[in-house]
Structures are given as structure tokens and as C-alpha cells.
Copies of this chain bind each other. A is one copy, B any other.
Amino acid sequence: MVNIKDIKKAALLIAPHIHRTPVLTCKAINQMAGCSLFFKCENLQKVGAFKMRGATNAVFSLTDEEAARGVATHSSGNHAQALALAAQLRGIPAYVVMPTSAPAVKKAAVAGYGAEIIDCEPTLQARESTLEAVVDRTGAVFIHPYDNERIIAGQGTAALELLTDHPDLQVVMAPVGGGGLLSGTALSTRALASDARVIAAEPCGADDAARSLEAGHIIPSVQPNTVADGLLTSLGQLNFPIIKKHVKKIWTVQDDEIIAAMRLMWERMKILVEPSSAVCLAAVLKHGQELENQKVGIIISGGNVDLDHLPWIES
């Protein structure tokens, strides 16, 4: 199982290639929340998301021989861009399987980082079989977006930095989709601040992680529906045991609460965050009575939004 040594090793390995993102505070939001929030701004990370950490760790951990064959993944989100850029930084090929339904702007971003895009039908089965064919053809190493130890170790470096800057945090929060960020965050927090609680947050419309934690086994995400489109996936096999062991609770929030928290962060903190990144603040504002007067770290996962279609503006 991944441990804090892997995370510290990842931190050293990726440091030359990523941003050390700032931790921001906002008095007005603290007053509304009744606690002191410390936001780790991974929206200001390269490619606009924490995904750069795990992808960079995975790519730079490869042997020269493995690396020469390149890396491959299926994703229409931030992981695809992150893997493409990390591969570009190492000077190796990247192959990204994307559904034909993916927005042109996302394909352009991945292609802009020099990756080869392979189209597939927009079904999970088509994604997996297309990926398999690509790996067979190229010999590239498949880098799963979250169910991968090096990805988990890389994502854990965000909380490592946060707790290095603010060792007295009493709670650390992260949103949960597949569980890559959350499992890495939990491991770093347990190691660096053993008394701090790890709390996750997810949309009511994609609450498979909350139900899985309650049931004690992975319950897959079926037809999730939420504005927080980074949190649709089911928990990974490597991620769930870590989450089960270290995460106290998973709060759920409605989409209108997510949008309100997102707008609040834009207005008061002057940063772009994507809906998935506002889920933790929405949860604090809704469920946070028990956080009163505590010091709470929140990982802001990313800032990739379509500026022509903001969720609070009718289009």
C-alpha cells in the first residue's frame, strides 16, 4: 500500500516540474463558515488541476525503457491534459483515448500538449477496448487516472505541502470522485498531523463514495448527475481501503449549494474554481457546525471551467 515515504519521494521528484501552489485565506468566508479555512489552490497548478501532481509522478517514475514507449490513458478530463503535459516534459509520447462526445476545447488542450488523441465511442467498454488496442500497438504504459499507486502518491503531495505550511490544521478536506486525491490527502494528513481528521465531500447526485464508506465496500457510481463533473467516477480498488481506514466521514451537498459556494469563492477569493472544487466549501457551509472555530484545510482541486457557460448565468 502507498505510504508517506512514497509521497515524500514523489514531492522531490515532481518539484522541478510543478507549481508550489499558494494557500489562500478569506476572512469574509471564514466569518460565514464559523471556522478558519486554508485553501490549497491546485486550481493554480499547471493544467489548472491537482492531476498534474500524480501524472508527473507517474511519468517521471518510469524507467527509461518504459518511458521510451510512452504512456496511455482514457480520460476526457484534467488527467488527460496532465498526462499529456507530463509526457511532453519528459519528452516521451502520450496516447489519450477520448470519447467522440468530448468537447473540442478539451481535445484541443490535450493535443496542444503534444499527445496523440485516439477517438472512441462514448461508452466505458469502448474506452477500455480502445485503450487496450493502443497499449498493444505501442507498448505504452497505461496510467490510470486514480487507481494507481504513483498517482495516489503524487496527489498526496498537495496535502503534504499544505500541512508543511500549516502544521496546526485540525481538519483536512478534499472532494471525492475516484478517490485519488482523497486517498493521497488522507495518507499525508495521517502522517503529518496524526490528530487531524480527514473529511471528504461529494455531490448528492454522485454520492457513491458516501454510500460505499457506510456499506464498507465499493458501491459503483450508477448514472451520476451533478454539476461537479469531475466527481462522476466510481471509487478505485486501491483508493477505497485507504479511504475506509482514514476518512472520518463524507458529507454530501446539492448542486445548488455547490454553485452558490463556487460563486462565493469567485467573488470573495478572486479565483476561478470548477464546481468540483466548491463541494468542500459547500459542505462546510451546510454541515460545518462541528468545525466551529477549528482550522480546516481544503484542497481546491481545479479551475477548468467554460467561461462562456457559467452555471449562474442563463444561456
Contacts and interface: CB of A to CB of B under 8 A. Distances in A.
Interface of A: 19, 22, 24-25, 27, 43-44, 46, 48, 263, 266-267, 269-273, 303, 307-308, 310, 312-313
23 contacts: A19-B25, A22-B22, A24-B44, A27-B46, A43-B270, A44-B269, A44-B270, A48-B270, A263-B307, A266-B307, A267-B307, A270-B272, A270-B273, A270-B303, A271-B271, A271-B272, A272-B272, A307-B312, A308-B312, A308-B313, A310-B310, A310-B313, A313-B313
Contacts of A266: 272, 307
Contacts of A19: 25
Nearest to A85: B27
Contacts of A22: 22
Q: Which 9 A-B pairs have the closest CB atoms?
A: A270-B303, A22-B22, A270-B272, A43-B270, A48-B270, A271-B271, A44-B270, A266-B307, A266-B272
Contacts of A272: 266, 270-272
Nearest to A268: B48
Most buried by B among A46, A266, A271, A303: A271
Contacts of A303: 270
A71 to B, nearest CB: 20
A251 to B, nearest CB: 25
A271 B271 CA distance: 4
A307 B260 CA distance: 12
A70 to B, nearest CB: 22
Contacts of A308: 312-313
A270 B271 contact: yes
Nearest to A28: B112
Contacts of A46: 27
Nearest to A49: B270
Contact of A307 (B27, B44, B48, B310): B310
A269 B48 CA distance: 8
A46 B19 CA distance: 23
A266 B19 CA distance: 17
A211 B25 CA distance: 41
Contacts of A310: 307, 310, 313
